[in-house]
């Protein structure tokens, strides 16, 4: 079965790329171009307000670097769990870099490769025209249990909500919504005292690769089974600096 990867830049994309390359017939990579950060922040301010967005930026720029430093040994420990060598996705010989994953040229490129399946990781929201145009199943890894923890950092928010049983990861079909596609596979993660906001996603990716395996097997057998978990649906954003200190001090969520 021929697989194409749609991805962005970053550690999780390198992991997924290396995983697919080592275990499957990865015939192409299409990389999403960088988003316009100014436009993104303006849209977020319009939706959430100035105060919340500035508080989110304070957390992202001021606290996350400290958390990465705090968890460096744990991150190194987790990196040894992969049974394949992690390589940068940009080193791929068959990579097509698009200004945006929603460029119509993406459809033309996919049609030339003629894959059986598209794996998605770390791209912006994919438009319906692209989903319909490629003509094959598209499966995404979401670091959260959907639909209850849509958006970003689903593992962190599950812990903040005292909901460890739904602290996990999902492989789901792509549709035009935000993490709203049919669930194919879900797994939970186990948190230790050594973990924090920066290592939760790594634990989710480790389990998420198993979700990908489940999904790929179902596609290969032409037997995709959608899981109905009857969970409520909610969209989450980045925590603010105030959210983070509250949940760390009063709930021990790092």
DSSP state of 32: P
What confidence tens digit (pLDDT) does each residue in 121-164 have? 999 999 999 999 999 999 999 999 999 999 999 999 999 999 99
pLDDT-derived band at 2, boundaries 50, 70, 90: very high
The side-by-side arrangement of strands in the sheet containing 2-7 is: 95-97, 25-31, 2-7, 117-121, 138-142, 168-173, 183-188
pLDDT of 117 above 90: yes
pLDDT value for 240 = 98
Q: What is the pTM of this model?
A: 0.94
pLDDT value for 130 = 97
Q: What is the mean pLDDT of residues 216-235?
A: 95
What confidence tens digit (pLDDT) does each residue in 72-110 have? 999 999 999 999 999 999 888 899 999 999 999 999 999
Q: What share of the chain in percent tops pLDDT 70? A: 100
How many helical (H) and strand (E) elements, i.e. helices and strands, does the chain have?
10, 9
Q: Which two tokens stand for residue 24?
A: 């499957």
pLDDT of 204 above 90: yes
Domains of the chain and CATH, by start: 2-251 (3.40.50.12230)
- The angle at the Cα of 169, spanning 167 to 155, to the nearest 5 degrees, equals 35
pLDDT-derived band at 242, boundaries 50, 70, 90: very high
Contact (Cβ atoms closer than 8 angstroms) between residue 30 and residue 101: yes
Computed over every residue of the chain, the mean pLDDT equals: 96
């Amino acid at each position: 079965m021929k697989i194409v990867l749609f991805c962005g830049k970053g550690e999780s994309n390198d992991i997924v790329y290396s995983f697919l390359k080592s275990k499957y017939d990865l015939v192409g990579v299409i990389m999403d171009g960088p988003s316009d950060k100014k436009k993104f922040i303006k849209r977020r301010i319009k939706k959430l307000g100035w105060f919340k967005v500035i508080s989110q930026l304070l957390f992202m720029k001021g606290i996350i670097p400290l958390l990465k430093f705090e968890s460096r040994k744990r991150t190194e420990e987790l990196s040894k769990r992969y049974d394949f060598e992690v390589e940068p996705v940009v080193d791929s010989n068959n990579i097509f870099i698009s200004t945006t994953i929603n460029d119509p040229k993406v459809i033309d490129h996919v049609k030339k490769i003629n894959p059986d399946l598209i794996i998605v990781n770390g791209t912006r929201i994919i438009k319906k025209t692209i989903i319909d145009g490629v003509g094959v199943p598209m499966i995404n890894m979401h670091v959260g249990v959907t639909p209850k923890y849509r958006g970003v950092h689903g593992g962190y928010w599950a812990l903040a909500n005292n909901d460890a049983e739904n602290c996990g990861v999902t492989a789901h079909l792509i549709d035009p919504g935000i993490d709203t596609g049919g669930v194919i596979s879900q797994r939970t993660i186990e948190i230790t005292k050594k973990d924090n906001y920066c290592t939760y996603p790594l634990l989710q990716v480790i389990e998420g690769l198993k979700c990908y395996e489940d999904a790929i097997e179902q596609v290969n057998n032409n037997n995709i089974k959608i899981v109905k978990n009857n969970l409520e649906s909610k969209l989450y954003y980045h925590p603010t600096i105030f959210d983070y200190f509250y949940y760390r001090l009063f709930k021990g969520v790092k």
